[in-house]
Amino acid sequence: MNALMQTGSAPLTMTSREIAELTGKEHRNVLRDARAMLVELHGEGGLLSFEQTHRDPQNGQEYPILALPKRETLILVSGYSVQVRARIIDRWQELEARPTALSPANLSRLELIQIAMQAEQERLQLEGEKAAVVAQLALAEPKAAALDRIAKHSDGSFCLTDAAKDLQMQPKKFLAKLQEIGWIHRRPMGGGWLAYQTRITQGVLEHKVTTGEKSDGSEWVGTQVRVTARGMARLAEILERDKVAA
């Protein structure tokens, strides 16, 4: 027999393997009927909460089983013969009459193995959930740092030199980074930096036209690339992620 016993508020369960033994049916057929019943009762998502894995102690192979509480077990066998239903009910009475304490003296070797397997599965699941939370925090930290860094400059825009200073980068490396990620470029014949139109459209860069007077009295006109507040937030996030990945 291989019913799984649990303590606390969790109910006793009877595995599909034991149901197959008690009813004289093939386990694959019991699995098929039980899955169809659980989907109808709880939906596709609810089916997962009843699924477990059993390792055959003889060949070491694993195969799926279902662990059904009393209600689901009785619903499953409600269409079976009277004799079969009686065997299931008798078995439940045996389970419910057992001591509830998880003491080795109260459990069979197989039940102890099953409990150990379940505990390991729960531990691995918990570790997976903790790893997911850590990953989410790692992604959130760069954005938080970016917002903190530009909080005092939420209005206006920045020239490239000031942007590099505020982002704590050497201007030369900062310009190289902007080129690398496709934010700025130079004209083929030289001259100052220009923003790619896609970055202007995204609102992360802008062009500021400046004018001045030359020594001969004529006027000069220049175009200056400036980083918007949105662009500063985006760049700070990119740079923080680069640090995390390094």
Q: Give tens-digit pLDDT for 60-73.
A: 788 889 999 988 88
- pLDDT tens sequence across 12-22: 888 999 999 98
- What is the reported pLDDT for 11? 67
- What is the reported pLDDT for 231? 86
Task: Give the Cα separation of 12 and 94 in Å (integer).
Answer: 11
* Cβ(5)–Cβ(111) below 8 Å: yes
Residue 213, strand partner residues: 219
Mean pLDDT of the region 2-15: 58
Name the residue among 197, 196, 226 with its Cα closest to residue 210: 226
- pLDDT tens sequence across 149-193: 554 454 568 888 888 888 888 989 998 999 898 898 887 666 678
- pLDDT tens sequence across 188-238: 666 678 888 888 888 888 888 777 677 777 776 677 888 988 888 888 888
Place of tokens 């006027």: 219
- What is the reported pLDDT for 230? 85
Q: Which two tokens stand for residue 21?
A: 């033994």
* Cβ(115)–Cβ(102) below 8 Å: yes
Helices (H), ranges, the chain = 16-23, 27-47, 70-76, 82-97, 109-150, 160-166, 171-180, 197-202, 229-245
Task: Give the Cα separation of 204 and 88 in Å (integer).
Answer: 69
Q: Which two tokens stand for residue 74?
A: 């009785």
- pLDDT tens sequence across 83-139: 888 888 888 888 777 655 455 555 566 666 666 677 777 777 777 776 666 666 555
According to DSSP, residue 151 is labeled G
* Cβ(205)–Cβ(231) below 8 Å: yes
Q: What Rg value do the Cα atoms of the chain yield, rounded? A: 34
- What is the reported pLDDT for 32? 92
Query: Residue 2's pLDDT band (boundaries 50, 70, 90)?
Result: very low
- What is the reported pLDDT for 9? 44
Q: Round the average pLDDT of the chain to a whole number and report it.
A: 77
Three-state DSSP state, 205: strand
Backbone angles phi, psi at 147, to 5 degrees: -65, -40
